[in-house]
Chain A
């Protein structure tokens, strides 16, 4: 619970402990009220009875309330001493985030360089490379959604639908027509973009909030259709045995098919399953870098300028002759096709897809990556993707609390830094004499 009443400490030095204790006690009281019904009592299934059993856990409530009390007290004391120590100073993190674009150090290229050598450093550890692949999928999805949310300012809550379209188009095109991954990749993007246009056409003329709810509904529709249209999609069981991509026709297999080389035999290497993991890693790295490149280029084109202008002021855009619907549509379609590429890659990497992988929570994670990273900032999105994928991996022991913490972190970061960790929403172009955006 953030304080609003206790921020004027500049005028009264020293800590008012009575007020602090009162404040903490009040917070603890609210926590008590909230905890009593849901934490204090637990219902459980009684064997052999239709009614529920009841257990009490007042100890847990007491601990929770005590934690809230002392946590709140500590937070307020820390906040007040910080403010008293450096009145009027910009908080440290703000200075850091503000200086990122100014520092000449090439963060982006350094990160790319690091990403390139990850499989070489950890070449004996497929687990790390595999996490790297997951991170890069989310980086790519984040950059794809960034076109829609960050650049064009359209709130898409159902981005996972395009991801699903991409994944299922590859899986289905393979099963019905025998197309390979490399043939399906562009098709997956085209299909996803088509869905984007079909969806965008009716709703992009409307206000932004409607777009949010319609995309959210669309994400659910896609999932419901995937679950129920069993003849085509395999229903809840999904589609299995999706082939892995080949390296220019050389498959990654232990035993070569009749009269053909595998990757290992062609290069005279000993077969190792990690070759495929490393190859997949570089494929997704290339796709992600392509996404980044395309986005950065688009930002410099008239269409990219129009997106950013629309995000800032739609009425001004209209009066300057920009067609808002078409402009939004292009952003939506391009974002969707990038999601489709990522989806096709996801299908080939997993080898198995089911509607389970395309729930709303995925959309929420991707959106969180974009917003937490700082909308419009490519670097921020990449860092947020790393954080959101790697941190839960590190906390595997707390798997039960993973999503709980994830939700709490989303709230905390928004409250703490509403514009994202690396917020910079500077226009891509500005007048030479102008200072700041």
Chain B
């Protein structure tokens, strides 16, 4: 029971990180119908900027953790958002209205480019981040001495995710930007006719996705303490799986999918084999797609001639 609870906490933390990345995929997919393959690498860049900023702060002597954390979050978010914007501007906007595969190929090229760019400028070695936020709360202790630990960093990850979810829901449902996003999602052409600046809306969607990915990158750096230039690939793959699982285009679905994927991964690693956790994730995806082709919260698509 204690072991189960511990895995539940680990899975939720991992799942909220996947969920944050997955939202970037699902928003972009919802609005322009393309798989933003470079999104995982945007997240990787967020993690790198986080580590670099921490190192800079260490050099200039800001060591009070809450302040440092806040600065790192802001810096990561701002610069990663710039990357998100630039990627869309360079690789996707010129291809708008092109045939379906063109932006995807461009995105794959962008992903390869970003990975190798970071590898060249920051080196191929694994970057460690010393554990900054230590300790946690022991929720329960079994007679055998197994303590269920809810560490502070896990709390922060889950709390930040919840706050961001609330903020995002507000932006999507209550602000003019959210309204134009939903309009573009339904019918981009019609939205443009009615005066919505479609290009700007799409750019901002990419920026929002990058912001969430940057937060996920910061959380991962703090949680695991090591990153390298390749983390974006698998995380992106799983986050996209999460988006599909939850029903692509649906934001609560992406979060739900992310949490499910995180839980599957945690429990599979704990109870079965850690080597095959990725296989389990994709296996579940295939099963879900067979029985629920539109994902858990997806709307069935109406095909029009």
Query: Which A residues are within 8 Å of any B CB, using their own CB?
Result: 1-2, 4, 30, 33-34, 36-39, 41-45, 50-54, 149, 155, 202-203, 205-210, 212-214, 216-218, 220-221, 224-225, 227-228, 315, 360-361, 364, 367-368, 371-372, 375, 400-401, 403-404, 406-411, 414-415, 418-419
Q: Which residues of A contact B101 (CB under 8 A)?
A: 149, 155, 371, 375
Q: Are A202 and B282 in contact (CB under 8 A)?
A: no
Q: Are B109 and A407 in contact (CB under 8 A)?
A: yes
Q: Are A202 and B289 in contact (CB under 8 A)?
A: yes
Q: Contact partner of A364 among B45, B75, B108, CB < 8 A?
A: B108
Chain A, Cβ-Cβ closest to B34: A209
Q: Which residues of A contact B115 (CB under 8 A)?
A: 403, 407
Q: Are A404 and B120 in contact (CB under 8 A)?
A: yes
Question: What CA separation (Å) do A361 and B37 show in the bound complex?
Answer: 13
Question: What CA separation (Å) do A400 and B45 show in the bound complex?
Answer: 19
Query: Which B residues are within 8 Å of any A CB, using their own CB?
Result: 29, 35, 45, 48-49, 51-53, 55-56, 58-59, 75, 79, 82-83, 86, 89-91, 93-95, 98-106, 108-118, 120-123, 125, 127-128, 130, 233-234, 237, 240-241, 244, 248, 273, 275-276, 278-279, 281-283, 285-286, 289-290, 293, 301, 303, 305
Q: Contact partner of A228 among B45, B99, B240, B276, CB < 8 A?
A: B276
Q: List 29 A-B contacts (CB under 8 A).
A: A1-B86, A2-B90, A2-B93, A38-B52, A38-B117, A41-B52, A42-B122, A52-B55, A52-B128, A202-B289, A209-B248, A210-B244, A213-B241, A216-B237, A217-B241, A217-B281, A218-B282, A224-B275, A367-B108, A368-B105, A403-B115, A410-B106, A410-B108, A411-B91, A411-B106, A414-B91, A415-B94, A415-B95, A418-B98
Q: Are B82 and A217 in contact (CB under 8 A)?
A: no
Number of A-B contacts (CB under 8 A): 190
Main secondary structure of the interface of B (DSSP, over half): helix
Q: Are A410 and B112 in contact (CB under 8 A)?
A: yes
Question: What CA separation (Å) do A170 and B115 show in the bound complex?
Answer: 33
Q: Contact partner of A213 among B55, B234, B244, B301, CB < 8 A?
A: B244
Q: Which residues of A contact B233 (CB under 8 A)?
A: 360
Q: Contact partner of A418 among B99, B109, B110, B305, CB < 8 A?
A: B99
Q: Are B130 and A50 in contact (CB under 8 A)?
A: yes
Chain B, Cβ-Cβ closest to A227: B275
Q: Are B35 and A221 in contact (CB under 8 A)?
A: no
Question: What CA separation (Å) do A361 and B116 show in the bound complex?
Answer: 12
Q: Are B35 and A54 in contact (CB under 8 A)?
A: no
Taking the nearest CB of chain A, how far is it from the CB of B216, in angstroms? 17
Given contacts A2-B94, A38-B45, A210-B289, contact A367 B105 (CB under 8 A): yes
Question: What CA separation (Å) do A375 and B273 show in the bound complex?
Answer: 41
Question: What CA separation (Å) do A364 and B123 show in the bound complex?
Answer: 23
Q: Are B279 and A54 in contact (CB under 8 A)?
A: no
Q: Which residues of B contact A42 (CB under 8 A)?
A: 121-123
Q: Which residues of B contact A400 (CB under 8 A)?
A: 120
